Structure 1
């Protein structure tokens, strides 16, 4: 894994439509990982935004900083449901990451050749010129952000397969 491109894969026993919904539907994407809803306009040029939760805002206040209402934003570059989503992505929670350029995030859902009914979800995050964002999404110890993409995808898989997230 480099600082400029990070690739994560997880195999999920579910339909591609269910995996797609877990990524793009706020009813689903607010139930795993950092549990903040993400809203997509699923067409080229459409907007993406991820909203702060009340818990995030309280955490920030206790730490002496303000968490904005929108914690991640971007633009949809390509949407091919339920197989491929490409978007720009910028973390706004932290002034350092907010000052960095937009990065590019690609989700690809493909049938796993090894087992019928299992699909491979690959997330590729291109992070050129965004070292603070790269550290944060990698879930490195010094980022203070938790588990990054590895945590998010593990929790997504658990939720889609079991109906419960990792902390339930």
Structure 2
């Protein structure tokens, strides 16, 4: 059971149009979900990415994907409350990353021009399940990054859910 919303409420009853929000329910515990979001052995399984960080607020994050590392002083942990909330800035777009994932020069230039975004994982107990809400915000409305994460997060969260519920991640979704 999952729901995709266009944008979260800003607390004042209006829509924040620069965010992508995805909510699902996973039969797991908050602690196991936290581990799946932060443990390199698990993130590599369902995402193909690992993070080198100590998960303290303000700490840098080095992304490793497919043998490539992406380090940037602006890639940092924004919030880390185990079993409740994890938030960090999104990775820096590099030419090496773009080449490895098949992003052309024109799309790469648009990605770089849109600036840095962030992602938050809100973890809430829901009976014998956990409600996970992924909020990817600080996006340009209608921008290239928004389009990519709008396709990417549902597939990624589905693989995470499968891993936690069955012990097996989903096969990589074709691009």
Task: Give the TM-score band, short-chain normalised.
Answer: 0.7 to 0.9
TM-score normalised to structure 1 length: 0.75
Q: Which runs of 5+ in 2 are unaligned?
A: 1-5, 8-16, 99-107
2:150 to 138, 151, 159: 138
Instruction: State the shift of 1:152 in Å.
Output: 0.5
* Aligned residues of 1:32 and 1:155 also touching (Cα < 8 A): yes
- State how many pairs are aligned: 143
Q: Root-mean-square deviation (CA), in Å?
A: 2.3
Q: Are residues 1:120 and 2:134 paired?
A: no
Instruction: State the shift of 1:5 in Å.
Output: 0.7
1:127-163: CA deviation from partner (whole Å, max 9, x where unpaired): 3337221111111xxxxxxxx0000000000001111
Q: Distance in 2 between matches of 1:40 and 1:152?
A: 21
Q: Are residues 1:11 and 2:25 paired?
A: yes
The aligned residue for residue 154 of structure 1 is 158
Q: Distance in 1 between matches of 2:118 and 2:171?
A: 29
SS at match of 2:31: helix
Q: Are residues 1:163 and 2:164 paired?
A: no
* Aligned residues of 1:30 and 1:38 also touching (Cα < 8 A): no
Q: Distance in 2 between matches of 1:91 and 1:138?
A: 18
2:117 to 94, 98, 103: 103
Q: Which runs of 5+ in 1 are unaligned?
A: 55-67, 140-147
- Going from structure 1 to structure 2, the CA distance change for 1:27 and 1:49 (only over 3 Å counts) comes to same
The aligned residue for residue 37 of structure 1 is 50
Instruction: State the shift of 1:91 in Å.
Output: 4.6
The aligned residue for residue 102 of structure 2 is none
Q: Distance in 2 between matches of 1:29 and 1:109?
A: 17
* Aligned residues of 1:158 and 1:164 also touching (Cα < 8 A): yes
The aligned residue for residue 88 of structure 2 is 87
SS at match of 2:91: strand
1:98-130: CA deviation from partner (whole Å, max 9, x where unpaired): 443111211111011xxx220001000103337
Instruction: State the shift of 1:53 in Å.
Output: 0.9
SS at match of 2:163: helix
